[in-house]
Chain A
Amino acid sequence: MMPVIEARNISKNFGRFQALRNVSFSAAPGEVHALCGENGAGKSTLVKILTGVLQPDDGQTLIGGEVHGIADTQHAQALKIGYVSQELSIAPHLSVLDNVWLGCRGVPLLHRRNELRERARRALNLVGLAHLSLERRAGTLALGEQQLVEIARMMVRDVAVLFLDEPTATLSDREIECVFSAIRELRRNGKTMIYISHRLGEVMDLCDRVTILRNGENVISTDVADISRGKLVEHMLGRSLSEMYPQAGGMSSVGALEIRGLMVPGKIRGLDFAVPRGKILCLAGQMGSGATEAVRALAGLVHDATGSVVLDGMPLKLGSVHTLLERNMRFVSEDRAGEGLFLNLSVEENFAATQFDVVRRFGLLLPAPVRELAERLADIVTVNPDRLRSRCGDLSGGNQQKIAIGRCITPGSGILLMNEPTRGVDVGARAEIYALMRQLCDQGYAVVMTSTDLEEVVGLADMVLTMYRGARVSLYGRDEISASRILLDITHPLTYENAA
């Protein structure tokens, strides 16, 4: 059958980072096609190219069998390509009806309201929201219903191809079931859906075909019926787990970071934990669990956070980045471009950014000491010293992350706070970063990190604290950590009622 949408030999670079290398993809009419891969495999880049957000550096996009560029998102809409993003884009103060028609380019200035209502009604029926009043304010709907309204929005636009980016990431079980039945109904109506998800169970249940990407390259494209779940994991990872993660050392728990009653209004409702030196504590939780916020609060970047923090027996003031720097508590952001690094400055400068006091001579920043510091740090984190003068933004994601970590290495050991330490980092650099984190721990650092990559949590952490909607579910020591228990905690927290 002729594919409705196809990508041929697509390549895309960001600076020196190759996000996609010669990737091909095609989806036939009426199929639900899963697009799988680890974080940073290139899924979202491919989706952005096929929905007109990005332009490929090389390769072709084909619509209905013809070579056809996709200029921008408006153009994609004209080509009957729809996209529902992971983050909901509902206008909470508008009615369901307005939300369904929001951003549709087919509505004339002088339109017949009744006709719009009728078509919105039909779209909502299609996605299983027949009971919903068109006048209801969208902000009052449950998350799952909002997700379905977004899908209905694509239906009134009469899309033929619909991209769904982790549609179930923030939903409860029952809501997930509603989204699934909506997807099945749409399949019966001949729509093509591209389903992006980390959840392999959903892929096996729901999808007809699956394409797996790894490090920006095609791995395999096959019928779901022809592949086992284990094989799927193997293709996604491309390695065995034991090689990836270094062995934990036996550092005794000297000194510790203790957190009591950490609260962030609307995000975290009282969180207690302690990390001994030499250990990696991972806060595991999905979007909206408060894990990321907790680390940001410790880094002094959440102004309304309250709670007591004790470091090495001395209390620490929350909310002052400066005090944290003095106490050697450093933060590595998950958003390297936005918050972590100065991409248009040199690598050298980025290394020195938080340690100017160390390299000052006579009150001045002379080139030699700065360079010396940068060379020393580059050596520790294995960044090629020839690149110290390069623009930081020209380095790969992995190297950038190493720089962000290197910046935190101070003469005395400290605390490392990290959100998603390997987001957008290729596999090779990933293993190096894990080794580096372990090495720092062996020198007496304590690490508090978050990750949504379950393999990473299981492989790397010494302790895992699972979180659900702003509260702790449970805490696991090294021997108790298992992927299935963590997954259960962060998605279906049975103990949630007891914990809250």
Chain B
Amino acid sequence: MSPKYFWVERLMAFRPRLWISTHGALLPLGLALLLLTAMFTPGFLSAPNLLSLVNTASVIGCVAVAMMLITISGNVLSFALGVTTGCSAMMFAWLTGYESGLLATVGALVFSTVVTGFQGLLIGLFRANPIIVSIAALGLMTGAAELISQGSMIYASGSQLQGLNDTFWSVPASGWVLLALVLLADFILRFTRFGRNIVMLGSNMTAAKAAGISLWRTTVGVYALAGLFSGIAGILLAARYNAGSLEYGIGYDYSAIAAVLVGGTFIGGGEGTALRTLAGLVVITGAGAILLLHGVSTEYQFLFTGLVLLVAVLVQGR
């Protein structure tokens, strides 16, 4: 045996036994660990902590569901959803100046839907690489928003937003919004033709084409939907801070990707559900909160999320 290949052969022999066979194993493991550590973390199960946790998680959750739709459709991920969220928050805050909550809401949602749907058009029609398109959109939107706002924050006027900060049955409105979006996304994916087309496109693009599914229509649709969900996240943010800023969206795509992956969505597309993404979100944000309560600084939280991402994507390796 040639010495150069000695270790290669050893590794090959061990690989099947060493590997976790299904990436679905990560989610129950994460939830169990979370529950265990939560019980031994003083203050975690207190009402104020849980309330603020739901508030944070619901915004990330909306972006995560949007991200999951893009992942399932076979377009891996988007780097532009965070900035879309920030821009929609700004749009919403700006439009509240016209004293109409409806105008502000519709305006912000139309903006995010059109901007993201247009990316879908580029990807679906011209077969542009989805990741590069999202990076370009990130740059364009950041630049444009900075130019227009002169880098300053936009304050919302009016009291139309108050309803979004109330709690219903002791859960904040944003939590209910997230739950509704999760159910809506799963409903679309399971019970509508459009949703099945998304899954089939992500599962096997060539076969989808041969089966007569319109690539560009489905891609535009899935991106528009993702944009809509990101826009909703932006409105929730603007309502919470009573203002809109580009900074709000920063880092949201990062956590969203982590939630999607921990939730067992296959990064290659064609597999995944919003409910599992929600569970992944609980693991990611819950773990972050626990670290925070133990006095671990933000830097370490980033390290932690990075590590979780790495594990999640390695487990998916085939």
Contact = CB atoms under 8 A, between A and B. Distances in A.
Main secondary structure of the interface of A (DSSP, over half): loop
B127 interface: no
A69 B193 contact: no
A321 B2 contact: no
B12 A339 contact: no
Interface string B215-258: 00000000000000000000000000000000000000000000
A72 to B, nearest CB: 7
Contacts of A363: 192
A342 B8 contact: no
A339 B9 contact: no
Contacts of B52: none
B199 to A, nearest CB: 7
A61 to B, nearest CB: 11
Contact of A342 (B12, B212, B214, B270): B270
B210 A340 contact: yes
Nearest to A66: B1
Contact of A55 (B12, B191, B203, B266): B12
B196 A349 contact: yes
Nearest to B204: A342
Contacts of B193: 356-357, 360, 365
A38 to B, nearest CB: 26
A299 interface: yes
B271 interface: yes
Contact of A75 (B5, B192, B211): B5
A69 B210 contact: no
B152 interface: no
A366 interface: yes
Contacts of B12: 55, 69, 71
B271 A344 contact: yes
B204 A343 contact: yes
B206 interface: yes
A345 B199 contact: yes
Given A342-B204, A342-B270, A68 B1 contact: yes
B200 interface: yes
Interface in B83-118: none
Interface string A359-401: 0100111100000000000000000000000000000000000
A54 to B, nearest CB: 11
A449 to B, nearest CB: 16
A136 interface: no
A311 to B, nearest CB: 16
Contact of A325 (B5, B209, B212): B212
A69 B9 contact: yes
B311 interface: no
B207 interface: yes
A199 interface: no
B8 A75 contact: yes
B210 A339 contact: yes
Interface string A316-339: 000001101100000101000011
Interface in B1-55: 1-2, 4-5, 8-9, 12-13
Interface residues of A toward B: which range? Answer: 20 to 34
B207 A365 contact: no
Contacts of A349: 196, 200
Contact of A366 (B5, B191, B271): B191
Contacts of A324: 212
Contact of A354 (B192, B206, B211): B211
A230 to B, nearest CB: 41
Contacts of B211: 321, 353-354, 407
Contact of B210 (A71, A331, A344, A345): A331
A342 B207 contact: yes
B210 A333 contact: yes
Contacts of B214: 322
Given A69-B9, A72-B8, A349-B196, A339 B212 contact: no
B270 A344 contact: yes
A324 B212 CA distance: 9
A341 interface: yes
Contact of A321 (B5, B9, B212): B212
A181 to B, nearest CB: 34
A360 B186 CA distance: 18
Nearest to B210: A339
B204 A364 contact: no
A171 interface: no
Given A321-B211, A338-B207, A407-B211, 8 more contacts: A71-B12, A321-B212, A324-B212, A333-B207, A340-B207, A349-B200, A356-B193, A365-B193
9 contacts: A321-B210, A324-B212, A338-B204, A340-B207, A342-B203, A344-B203, A349-B196, A356-B193, A365-B191
Interface of B: 1-2, 4-5, 8-9, 12-13, 190-193, 196, 199-200, 203-204, 206-212, 214, 266, 270-271
Interface of A: 55, 68-69, 71-72, 75, 78, 299, 301, 321-322, 324-325, 331, 333, 338-345, 349, 353-354, 356-357, 360, 363-366, 407
